[in-house]
Every structure is written in structure tokens, then in C-alpha cells.
Amino acid sequence: MSSPATIPGPPGLPLLGNILDVDPSNTWWSLRNLAEKYGEIFKIKILGHEIVFVASAALAEEICDESRFRKFVGGPIVEIRYAVHDALFTAYDHEEAWGIAHRIIAPHLSPDSVAAHFDELLLCTDELVAKWTKRLEPGVKFQPLKDLNNLNLEATTLTLFGKKLGAIDMEGDEHPMIQAMEDATSEAMRRPNRPKLLNWLLYNGKWKKATKTMRSFATGLVQYRTEHSTGRKDLLWALMNATDPQTGKKLTDSQVIDEIVSMPIGSSTAPCTVTATILFLLQNPEVIAKAREEVDRVVGRTGLLKQEHVSQLEYIQGIARETLRLSCAAPGFNIEPIPSKNDDKSPVLLQGGKYQIAHNQAMIIVLAGVNRDPAVFEEPHKFKPERMMGDNFDKLPAGVKKWFGNGKRSCIGKHWAWEFLLVVTAKLIKEVDFQAVDEQYVLKQDGWFNIRPTNFYVTAKARGA
């Protein structure tokens, strides 16, 4: 067997390594650029710590094999434990809390449970459509992401926790919870790359303030439910009352708050995705025409969208998947080799020995590279919903379908997110005409836990008005 290939990467500086190759204010965009330059696998070193990145479909599929690899909880994920402790997203593989919470929560985020909240999701979406088509002054430009963030928080809180916030029509840009989530996740991304003393001296104030805001928001929801018993057996009820069928344990009061905080953070990728959909539709007017033909045929030009319509909107599903592919709103996830039971520290081989990594080497899947893999996609940068429909979609390798993570540690809210994407996308296509303020706008993204289009402005009016 030939010797393993050297994993490429940018040359670094003495001691500092590749700290200048990654923009701390836009980490994922930097990684996208590095993936485009170095290909399927690359590495960087930051302050002596080596990180390996995977950016091809084949390698992504290989390291998503749960018999060999598992989720790596490190770096920013460890930092965010300050806010949510051993919640589903941040729990270590060995922690009992993950299994208890997962078994309590999962039944309330199943496809059937999500479908039962369709009317509440539609109510929230209708409020946003009315704001954009009836209450905004004609020609007023706005950033759709801000309103979609409020819609997401409103819908999450109503469907899962049973409280109407009024966030869609609130004064100001966004609900305070949204800013707190951004402050917390952005700080979590930066903290691992700073000396601990510097974090403590200069940045702990913002960190603690964001955490306090998020946990106070969650505490308020618990208090509201305690004072306004509705008989709802929704997710909040389960968090507060349900018992794990395997261990007989309930979540502690602190763990209830942890999971409530985690839900809107996790779902915050959804409005980023819808914003990207609006952009891609404006850039591809023929897609809007096809989508409207489908919606008008399935729902009716003046008909009301119903739950049974959602599964019939196959082209809308293709649009949503193609947006997930290109926008990478959830930009990646961390993987590590499963430790050997006999303490074997032999290198781990990838691609049949083409590459090798240390037995404990953390890796990050960069979906901006994986999802544009030219070995899988013809014209990978083009927006083509047809390739994400029917047999075309079914034939794609599993490695390019990891928008919601992988295996047992995949996003527990993936069915909720999928429903949100389809309902909101269908409603906007059916009822709203958008116009880009800058017709030459080129996608540029920033973000932390999620990534989103920046400086993207539109105007809106009722369809055909």
C-alpha cells in the first residue's frame, strides 16, 4: 500500500499557525474559501491546535459512519455549555442527560406531533405575510431576515411552548431573545481562540448578559405555563412533567430551562434558509413561475393552504432542499473517531488509506464544500430544484443530505424545521411579490451557529398587486 497523502492546508505563522487564514468575525465563510482552494480535506493549526476539515461528499459519508465516528463536543460547543449545560446539542456522548432528554422530547417533535401544530404555524406565517403586503408602505426596503427571525421565534414559542409573543409586530428590529442568541453563539465561536484570561477580563460581561437574557426568557415561559394551565400536552408540558420511560427520571428545573433555550437557537437556521430562498428565487424567476403553477394547482389561486397540501408540493420541496444545499444555513458539524476499547492509538485511515489522521483527531464537516462537490453535482453553484426531487434526489449519496446533522445526534427538531421551511416558502411564493433593492446583489454570508445572507434588502407587495 502506498503511503497516505499529506493533508493539505495553508502555510502558517510561527506559534500563531493559521490564525490569519480564518476571519474570527466570519469563520464559516473563511472555511468555505479554504474548501474551494484545498478540496476534499484540509487542515489548519491555531495556537498549536490542529483541526481537520472535510469538504467532499465521499469523505463526509465515510466519517458519518456511526460504527467508527461520533459527534465531537469541543471548542464552541463546550463554551455554549455555560448557557445550556448538558442539553441535547451540547451533551457529551457519555452523559446520561442526553438520553433522558432525547426520549422525553423526541415524541413531541415527531412528524405527527409537528403536523398537529400546523394551524399555529400558519397563523404566525399569515401575520408576517400581512405585515409585508398590507402594513408596510409601498416601496419601503427591509431585510427579510430580521422579520423571519421574529417569525421563527414566534412560531417556535407558540407551537412548542404554547405562548404567543407578538414578536412579528413588535417595535424595533428583532426580539431581545434573538440578539441574546446571536451574542452567545458568536462569543462561543471566538472564546476558544483567545487566552482564557483575556476572555475573563474583557468578554465575560457580554457572555453573562446574553446567557441571563436567554435563561430569563425560558424561565418566563415556564412561569407562564405554571400560571396559565391550558391542558396542552405540548413540548413544554413534556419538559416540565414527563418521565423518561427508560430510567424513570424527570428533567431538573435547570435542565428544563436548558432545553427551552436550546430550541430557538437550534431553529434559528430556518429563517436564514428562507431568506436565502427569497434571494435564489429572485435570481431565478423561472423557478418562481414553476412553483406558482404548482401551488395554484394544488392549493388553488385563492385557496387556503392546508396540512394535507404540504406533502403534495413536490417542487416546493425541491426548492427547500436546493436552498439547504446552497445556503448551508447550518454550516457544518464536528466528528471524532470513536475511542478504541483496547486503548489502541493507531492512526485512523480514511478513503481506504488515502489519508490518515490521529486516533483522537477532531474533524469538522464543511457543508459549503460537501454540498458543492463537483463529483456529485453538475453545475454545483447553480440553483436547480429539479435535482432535489423524486428519483434525482433519491439517487444522491447520503453525504450530501446532512443539512440536519447525522445519526443519533442529528437535529431533533428536523421535522419541525422541514415543516417551517415548506409552509413559509409555499405561503411567500403563493402570496408575495418581492423585488431586490440591488439587482446585482451577490450572496455574501456571515454568522455563528448559523450563517445568513448579509445586507440583502427587498421590497414586497401582495402578489399581482
Report the binding-site residues for heme: 411
Binding residues: 411
Q: State the Cα–Cα distance between residues 239 and 412, nearest whole angstrom.
A: 14
Q: State the Cα–Cα distance between residues 419 and 114, nearest whole angstrom.
A: 7
Nearby residues of 154 by Cβ (< 8 Å), 6 or more positions away: 124, 127, 164, 165, 166, 167, 168
Taking 3-state DSSP, the helix, strand and coil percentages for the chain, each rounded to the nearest 5, stand at 50, 10, 35
Pairing between β-strand 363-366 and β-strand 332-337 as defined by DSSP bridges:
antiparallel
**DSSP code of 192?**
G
Q: Concatenated DSSP letters for 299-356?
A: T-TTPPP-HHHHTT-HHHHHHHHHHHHHH-SS-EEEEEEPPPTT---PPEEEGGGTEE
Give 309's strand partners.
none
Give the Å distances, CA to CA, from 117 to 86, 144, 220, 233: 28, 24, 22, 12
List alpha helices for 162-268, DSSP H.
176-190, 196-198, 204-227, 235-241, 253-267
**DSSP code of 454?**
S
Are residues 302 and 377 in contact, defined by beta-carbon separation less than 8 angstroms? no
Q: State the Cα–Cα distance between residues 374 and 380, nearest whole angstrom.
A: 6
Pairing between β-strand 69-71 and β-strand 332-337 as defined by DSSP bridges:
antiparallel
Q: Which amino acid type is present at position 102?
A: H
Pairing between β-strand 41-46 and β-strand 49-54 as defined by DSSP bridges:
antiparallel
Q: State the Cα–Cα distance between residues 388 and 385, nearest whole angstrom.
A: 5
Secondary structure (3-state) at 142: strand
**DSSP code of 17?**
B
Q: State the Cα–Cα distance between residues 6 and 2, nearest whole angstrom.
A: 12
Nearby residues of 405 by Cβ (< 8 Å), 6 or more positions away: 71, 330, 333, 411
